[in-house]
Amino acid sequence: MKINPSFLLKILAPMQAIIPKRHVLPICESIKLDSIGFTGTNLEQWIHIPYKNLPEVCINFQEFMETLKTLGNQIVEMNLDSETYKITFTVGEMTMNSFGENNSDFPEVPEFIPEFKTTIPNLTSFVPFASTDELKPAMNGIFVGKDICSTDAHRLKVEPNQYHKEGNFDFVIPAKVVHKILNATRTIEVNSDCSRAKVHLDFGFFYTRLIQDKFPSYRNVLPEKTNTFVIINRNGLIKALDACLKYTNKTVPMVKFMLTDDKLSLFAEDMDYSKEFTTTVPCEWTGENGFLIGLNAKYLIQVLKDSKSPEVTLNLSTPNMAAWVDDNFIVMPIMIKETV
């Protein structure tokens, strides 16, 4: 059969997000070819790319992709010896050989019966806010319901889900595959017990197990808006926080924020090395003069970088309550043991 290596590289690119280089089941390091297309899996997720008249064989995925890159943008003849599983690629005077294996032992895509279909937006911006702690499996995912939310218990991002419809179930999709698979608006189907989902890709389908653990009741931790508002230049605050980080404790990089006059004062210290740093950032604010709160500088920087507006608004309630950043993010406070 004839193949176009450049086209195959394009349609098979999403499989790089799920096919492992090393797996306890070695055949999962391969891609399955058969008469209906390409299939790859890590046993938690599957990707199927429809393609006609492929030979029946399994090929190591990494080797196959490297071969396609070598062959480049030209029409190539691909043939399989069904007895030895020798695969031959021929173009002009050049011939490349590799060996596959029987695809009969390759894991099948589990049966999927959809209960409802909906649309989900690009979820990549929610990935940095999801936890990577395996002891918190629910937080390893992105919640999709009336809101879209992700959190690691220190930071949280939440936005209304413009595609939510009555009758749609809530579900939690693993964050670790989102940045490469769900990097565009997609149609998604979910089964009746919200244990599996099928996502429509540009050239095929992505199947994944959904996280079954109950997502935290995030609305219970969203603080009420107060009269203490700070409007501040985003880049200026990021620059000041970057400077503060060099003087914070490496384990808990806390920066103290104090509102005085027409500025925001930032104070960082590392008691272990007797280092201190103070700076101010111009801002507009309303509320209590001398208001003091401690925040994790690293988490706040990540939130600020996710915001795209030139100015951000901080809404502060009390020193022991989470701080709003714009209307979509919250950062949990760090208790201050002593005042500035």
This prediction has a pTM of 0.86
CATH number belonging to domain 117-191+209-220: 3.10.150.10
Task: Give yes or no for residue 48 having a pLDDT over 80.
Answer: yes
Token representation of residue 168: 């749609």
What pLDDT score was predicted for residue 46? 96
What pLDDT score was predicted for residue 8? 95
Q: What is the DSSP string of 62-112?
A: HHHHHHHHHH-SS-EEEEEETTTTEEEEEETTEEEEEE-B-GGGSPPPPP-
Task: Give yes or no for residue 340 having a pLDDT over 50.
Answer: no
What pLDDT score was predicted for residue 199? 95
Q: For the segment 297-326, what is each residue's pLDDT rounded down to a tens digit?
A: 999 999 999 888 899 999 988 888 899 999
Confidence band for 271, pLDDT divided at 50, 70 and 90: confident
Amino acid at 53: N
Confidence band for 227, pLDDT divided at 50, 70 and 90: confident
In the CATH scheme, what architecture does the domain 2-105 have? Roll (3.10)
What pLDDT score was predicted for residue 338? 58
Q: For the segment 119-137, what is each residue's pLDDT rounded down to a tens digit?
A: 999 999 999 999 999 889 9
What is the overall mean pLDDT for the chain? 91
- Mean pLDDT along residues 33-52: 94
Superfamily of domain covering 223-331:
DNA Polymerase III, subunit A, domain 2 (3.10.150.10)
What pLDDT score was predicted for residue 319? 87
Q: For the segment 3-39, what is each residue's pLDDT rounded down to a tens digit?
A: 999 999 999 999 998 999 999 999 999 999 999 999 9
Helical packing angle, 61-71 and 5-12, nearest 10°: 140
Task: Give yes or no for residue 339 having a pLDDT over 70.
Answer: no
What pLDDT score was predicted for residue 294? 94
Q: Start-end ranges of CATH 3.10.150.10 in the chain?
A: 2-105, 117-191+209-220, 223-331
Q: Which of 228, 226, 225, 231 is nearest to 284 (CA)?
A: 231
Q: For the segment 171-210, what is each residue's pLDDT rounded down to a tens digit?
A: 999 998 887 788 889 999 999 999 999 999 999 999 999 9
Contacts of 287 (CB under 8 A, 6+ apart): 226, 227, 228, 229, 230, 259, 316
